[in-house]
Structure 1
Amino acid sequence: MKSALFTGAAVTLGLLMASVGSAQASSIHQPTTQARQHGITLAGGGYMGWTNTKTSSTAATPAVLAPAATVEGIDVASYQGNVDWAGQWNAGKRFAYTKATEGNYYTNPYFAQQYNGSYNVGMIRGAYHFATPNDSSGANQATYFLAHGGGWSKDGKTLPGALDIEYNPYGATCYGLSAASMVSWIRDFANTYKATTGRDVPIYTNLDWWSRCTGNSSAFNSTNPLWVAKYASSPGTLPGGWPFHTIWQYSSTPIDQDRFNGDYSRLQALANG
């Protein structure tokens, strides 16, 4: 995900620790600098969990497997290039999300290999969109996403497209939007996606960003599945009053690691709608 430019002394260390951990608290104040440290130098470079990866040896500690029924998966973007899908399958991964688009200006050049490759090896797969709410409307970006790999089909192997909404690696943390405007933007995206596919888009976010930028809105917690980012031994406090998470991104080592909150039959049910 992205790092953000926080201004003023009002941002407390405790709030920073709630989302990214104390090991990163000193670097999170410089989003543009941190984005470059993560290899994000051009528009289109945002990816899930980017604030937690690659700059610190303590950034990601793999979590212990939970005793409840879960399914392991990964998420990928252009940074992973051509993925060894057979290797990921043999490592126990059964689902994958691939970055398809960002804003209304970028498509992942490795999308076909990643999206189709995961499907061909037997995984349940989905696409995600990296939101840049300052660039265009939610409806515009949802339409762009749908036109470039973000669609859904009821084939039992395709998950609904996901909205990655988080820290802005290119500027102001909340993209210059008020909390009310951000909620409206997300609703615009979600409604446009559902009008075309019939599916409620899963929302990927984290407690800190969601609290800052939506006022910890509860507007989506009864409709849109939560994909929570928390690099720790448990998902912790969930944002927005969601009663449970659907997917948990818990590590970036050696690739972004995700865990579906349920058994394989429930993952299939999410794919089938």
Structure 2
Amino acid sequence: MPNFNGVIDISHHNGNVNLTTAKADGIVGVIQKATQGQRGADPTYARNRGRAATAGLLWGAYHFGTGSDGVRQAENFLGVVGNRAGLLVLDLEPNPTGPSMSLEEARAFVTHVREKTGHFPGLYSGHYIKQLLGTNSDPILAKCWFWLAQYGPTPVVPPNWPTWTMWQYTDGAFGPEPHSVRGIGRSDRDMFNGDETKLRGFWASETS
């Protein structure tokens, strides 16, 4: 089954985006940064959520994890997005401005989201999760669907997951083409492991 290149992830760094134009360029789903740490919130989240709804796009939200209490971070995230915001994701990567989230804090985060929503969130990560786990497995994080960040030609999945569900193949500069989306410009773009019909079914199953 072919991979579907119809998902983007955005944050305030993308500025004033036109999601109607992005839809016309083949985008079907948008995952927006909502929160960071225990108190941070992305100022463009509510605005872009409204724009995505107007454009008829699938919607999701992610939380940038930091080195602090995982349950409190999950509460911050759910307080901003609500329990039925669309796809929910934990972004687990090195924090350039302070301590990075640990495996223990990540487990606490995803478990709390599962308790409150009925679904484990997705886990977005790349070399950081490979560094943290090595050849080991983590049975809690393995319950999260996996969103790989890797800007090379071939996705390499950590042993903790049988495959990737989504693959961020470019950050708008590195990785395979295309790097940009009309209405947004250069941006993170994401493959889905399946066709558009499977993507829509997956999105629905994670938000029901």
Question: Shorter chain as normaliser: what TM range?
Answer: 0.7 to 0.9
Q: Provide closer, same or farther for how the CA distance between residues 197 and 217 of structure 1 changes in structure 2, counting only shifts above 3 A.
A: farther
Contact 2:146-2:163 at 8 Å conserved across structures: yes
Q: Provide closer, same or farther for how the CA distance between residues 216 and 129 of structure 1 changes in structure 2, counting only shifts above 3 A.
A: farther
Counterparts of 1:167-246 in structure 2, within 5 Å, are 167-171=94-98, 175=100, 182-206=102-126, 208-215=127-134, 217-219=136-138, 220=140, 222-235=142-155, 237-246=156-165
1:257 aligned to which of 164, 179, 189: 189
Counterparts of 1:130-141 in structure 2, within 5 Å, are 130-132=64-66, 134-135=67-68, 137-141=69-73
Aligned counterparts of 2:202 and 2:14: Cα–Cα separation in 1:
26
Task: Say which SS state the counterpart of residue 120 (structure 2) adopts.
Answer: coil
Contact 1:249-1:256 at 8 Å conserved across structures: yes
Contact 2:8-2:189 at 8 Å conserved across structures: yes
CA apart distance, 1:114: 1.5
CA apart distance, 1:222: 4.3
Identity of aligned residues (%): 30
Across the aligned residues of Structure 1 and Structure 2, the Cα RMSD in angstroms comes to 1.9
Contact 2:148-2:157 at 8 Å conserved across structures: yes
CA apart distance, 1:152: 1.8
CA apart distance, 1:213: 2.6
Aligned counterparts of 1:264 and 1:199: Cα–Cα separation in 2:
22
Unaligned runs of at least 5 residues, structure 1: 1-66
Per-residue CA deviation, residues 76-99 of structure 1 (Å, 9 max, x unaligned), is 001112211111111111101000
Provide the residue aligned with 1:166 in structure 2.
93
Aligned counterparts of 2:107 and 2:116: Cα–Cα separation in 1:
14
Task: Say which SS state the counterpart of residue 270 (structure 1) adopts.
Answer: helix
TM-score normalized by structure 2? 0.84
Q: Provide closer, same or farther for how the CA distance between residues 221 and 122 of structure 1 changes in structure 2, counting only shifts above 3 A.
A: same
Task: Say which SS state the counterpart of residue 170 (structure 1) adopts.
Answer: coil
Contact 2:107-2:141 at 8 Å conserved across structures: no
Task: Say which SS state the counterpart of residue 239 (structure 1) adopts.
Answer: coil
Q: Provide closer, same or farther for how the CA distance between residues 247 and 226 of structure 1 changes in structure 2, counting only shifts above 3 A.
A: same
Per-residue CA deviation, residues 182-212 of structure 1 (Å, 9 max, x unaligned), is 3221111111001111011000000x21132
CA apart distance, 1:265: 2.6
Provide the residue aligned with 1:32 in structure 2.
none
Provide the residue aligned with 1:115 in structure 2.
49
Task: Say which SS state the counterpart of residue 114 (structure 2) adopts.
Answer: helix
Task: Say which SS state the counterpart of residue 56 (structure 2) adopts.
Answer: coil
Aligned counterparts of 1:167 and 1:131: Cα–Cα separation in 2:
9
CA apart distance, 1:218: 2.2
Contact 2:130-2:158 at 8 Å conserved across structures: yes
CA apart distance, 1:71: 4.2
TM-score normalized by structure 1? 0.65
Structure with the higher fraction of residues in strand conformation: 2
Pairs aligned (count): 191
Contact 1:142-1:192 at 8 Å conserved across structures: yes
